[in-house]
Amino acid sequence: MADSDLIACLYPAGDHHSVWAASQQVVESDRNRSRHAPALLPSSSLGSSKAPAYHCSPCLRLSFSPPPKRDKGLVCGWDPSCDIVLPNLSGVSFRHAAFTFDEHDRLIYQDLGSQAGSQVIYDKAGRGRRSRFRWILGGHPVPDGQEETIIHMTPSLCFRVVVCRHDVASPLYVNKVNRFRRGTAPVEALLDEVDLGRPPTEPPSGAHSPPGEGPITLQKKLGEGGFGVVWHVWDVSTGEEHALKQPSDRAIRERRVNVHRWREEARMLGQIQHPHIVTLLGQDFIDLPRLELEYLPCGPLHAQRGLTPRECLDVLRQCLSALDDLHGRHPPIVHRDISPGNILVRQRDEDNIHVKLADFGLTKESDDLVTMCGTRRYLAPEVYGLGAYTAAVDIWSLGVVVMERLSDLPDSHAKERDWCHEIAKKLKDDFRHEPDGVKELLMSMVVMDPGRRSSAHDCFNRAQALPDPTEDCCQTPRAGFSLEEDNEGQHQIVAAPGSSRGGVSLAPGPSTATGQSQSPVFVRSGAPVPQSNISAWKRTRSLSTDEEELSAVYLDWICDPLHALGGGSDLAADLGQESSGWSDLPPSTVDKSVPRSVSRTLEPTGPGLGQATVDHHSIQQGPSIVWDDAEHMAAALLLALRETD
């Protein structure tokens, strides 16, 4: 069981024996006896045990109790009153540094103004001496994920810090941190602030170069495409993180840096503020283009395993919300490369998933596009043609992305438009096998003819009206209904022969240019029926006749899980990555937090920007009854009863 009073341990370290020996003397000094802890393992087990080598060394324990003597934290220096007393060696200051907590309750190492400065190295990255500077040691995913964090107090004193993990949100931990910050000697702390009682500063000996200035950041590659690379950048002092997108070495080497395209991407992102579109934090075009973007810690959509039907619907809703905004502008903004690698996940937990569209390197403001670009697996069929295409290409791509997460794409070697035909055919087959409202919406998006494809505005409204799938609800297929296609490629859900002599169909009407949908009604086969959702129908339609009232009663039956003909009956049930290491990064001229996005053409670069190969999993959708099911079945029952009257 973890020691709730322990903050961290300091072990002697150093590349040279003299440095290690001097550091061990600090650990074993009588002045630091109260914090001394013996080695966990005998030195004889070094190399033969799977335990870390530092377990064979003694250490200094940094703990909450007793609390520090000053409100600066546990102070280190050659002052005998320091919490950790250091030897009076060259480069060691009277009060050299302190271990304390920042405003976010994260453990930090704070240099208090030493002459030569301190240095903290995270897995051999982040080098640079600084004075009056802070380094985050724990309480953040980046330092917590390091294998080794080494503090160089001076060139001759070096310690490995091992931070204890705590529940930083627990009241007990927060109270301990607050008491730790206060210390036990406020009067002495006040004197310390005005430097009373402190000996004059030693003149520089010349043996150490002066400390540097400016921020220190770590970088880790998130992905790389043919023309750009994206890095995760973390500031060691503030903990701020962002994504830095810049031209790749290959693009620079081959002189293929299109500065105009980079400026266009920055301009378009700069004018967009949407909760489901990645945010531009800064830009710099000195020497080479550099875009600083919001960092989304959960990575791309294709890295998320086991998305539930509810999560898939949430992803669809959020991305349609973004496309509704982009396509609704004048001229419309067309993304042109919607894929799982360009949908980034900001947060995912048991209650929700939050995604954002990223990688606007291929984005265009136009009603008339001709360039063939994007990710082949998700390209709309019209992109392969010789003519122009429109914003409808984004609708197809998003529909295919969500379809893939729900039921996977066809196992086929078809290419270009033939591949698109295979996708549309499989979606129809999936709907026949297990119909639901989400697939019905996808069928209005994954349409070969872009003129019959629903708009982002219309799809978003329909997605919002769909009920949330649940893990344990019963999904009732449309008993006695089938999917048919007319001569013009329109889909109709038609009552099978014998289910009613009148035949009922619900066909999605063509989407208008403005994305407006018509009010929902039921009609007999052969008449065009607009697309809609039952919840909107029930809100807007008044029951003025016995016929309509009876229809509403049947809806109640079907939706009642305890009714003999309802969704819960037995009858209804029977019908029913990154690179692994961090490295140093020179400070950027602009600052803040990341997406992963790099422009991409139809080169064989794989799916997404520098992402691992997509591992496609079929997701079995749990049974559930949806409003569309209820509407269709109620209409069929109503007509059947009318025929028997």
| pLDDT tens-digit map of 80-96 | 999 999 999 989 999 99
Residues 239/101, Cβ–Cβ less than 8 Å: no
Alpha-carbon distances of 415 from 376, 389, 412, 419, 425, rounded to whole Å? 9, 19, 9, 5, 14
Q: Quote the CA–CA distance of 166 and 161 in Å, as a whole number.
A: 16
Phi, psi of 485 (to 5 degrees): -125, 130
| 443 pLDDT above the threshold of 80 | yes
CA 500 to chain CA mean position, Å: 49
CA distance 263 to 611: 25
Q: Is the pLDDT of residue 134 over 70?
A: yes
Query: Per-residue pLDDT averaged across 461-484, rounded?
Result: 65
Per-residue pLDDT at 486 exceeds 80 = no
Q: pLDDT tens across 362-378, in order?
A: 766 655 565 667 789 99
The residues pairing with 121 across neighbouring beta strands, listed in sequence order, are 150
pLDDT at 550 over 70: no
What mean pLDDT value characterizes the chain? 76
Mean pLDDT for the stretch of residues 116-139:
94
pLDDT of residue 466: 96
3-state secondary structure 307-358: CCHHHHHHHHHHHHHHHHHHHCCCCCEECCCCCHHHEEEEEECCCCEEEEEC
Alpha carbons 629 and 635: distance in angstroms, whole number: 10
627, pLDDT greater than 50 = no
**Angstrom distances, CA of residue 25 to CA of 15, 32, 275, 309, 320:** 16, 10, 55, 61, 63
Residue 606 sits at φ, ψ, to 5 deg, of 85, 170
Residue 525's pLDDT band (cuts 50, 70, 90): very low
**In which residue are the tokens 């330092």 written?**
143
Q: What is the mean predicted confidence (pLDDT) over 131-157?
A: 95
Please tell me the predicted confidence (pLDDT) of residue 570.
32
Residue 479 has pLDDT above 50, yes or no: no
Place of tokens 């001759």: 156
Q: What is the pLDDT of residue 295?
A: 96
Q: Compute the average pLDDT of residues 345-353.
A: 93
pLDDT digits (tens, 9 = 90+) for 322-347: 999 999 999 999 998 999 999 999 99
What the chain holds in terms of domains, given with CATH numbers, is 6-193 (2.60.200.20), 216-469+580-620 (1.10.510.10)
- The pLDDT confidence band at residue 631, using thresholds 50, 70 and 90, is low
Contacts 24+ apart (CB under 8 A), 201-207: 201/115, 202/115, 204/115, 205/90, 205/91, 207/90, 207/91
If one compares 548 and 12, the residue with the highest pLDDT of the two is 12
Dump pLDDT digits (tens) for 7-63. 999 999 988 999 999 999 999 999 999 999 998 888 777 766 678 888 889 999 999
pLDDT value of position 41: 85
Q: What is the pLDDT of residue 485?
A: 56
Mean pLDDT of 111-131: 94
Distance between CA atoms of 292 and 430, rounded to whole angstroms? 42
**pLDDT reported for residue 591:** 41
Select the more confidently predicted residue: 599 or 178.
178
Given a cut of 90, whether residue 243 has pLDDT beyond it is yes
> Tell me, what's the pLDDT at 594?
37
CA of residue 52 relative to chain centroid, distance: 33
Which residues sit opposite 585 in a β-bridge? Answer: 217
pLDDT of residue 488 exceeding 50, the answer is no
Closest CA to 356 of 274, 457, 290, 438: 274
Kind and range of the H or E run holding 161: strand 157-163
User: Lowest-pLDDT range, 318-327, 337-346, 463-472, 487-496?
Assistant: 487-496
Q: Read off the DSSP letter of residue 196.
A: T
Q: What is the pLDDT of residue 368?
A: 54
- Mean pLDDT for 373-397 is 90
β-strands 74-77, 84-85: how paired?
A: parallel
Predicted local distance difference test score (pLDDT) of residue 44: 72
Most confident residue range from 332-336, 581-585, 597-601: 332-336
pTM of the entire predicted model: 0.70
3-state secondary structure of 135: strand
pLDDT, mean of residues 593-619? 35
pLDDT at residue 131 greater than cutoff 90: yes
Alpha-carbon gap, residue 638 to 522, rounded angstroms = 11
pLDDT value at 391 more than 90? yes
Beta strands of 320-461 (E only): which ranges?
A: 333-334, 343-348, 353-357, 364-365
Range name among 226-240, 272-286, 594-608 with the lowest pLDDT average: 594-608
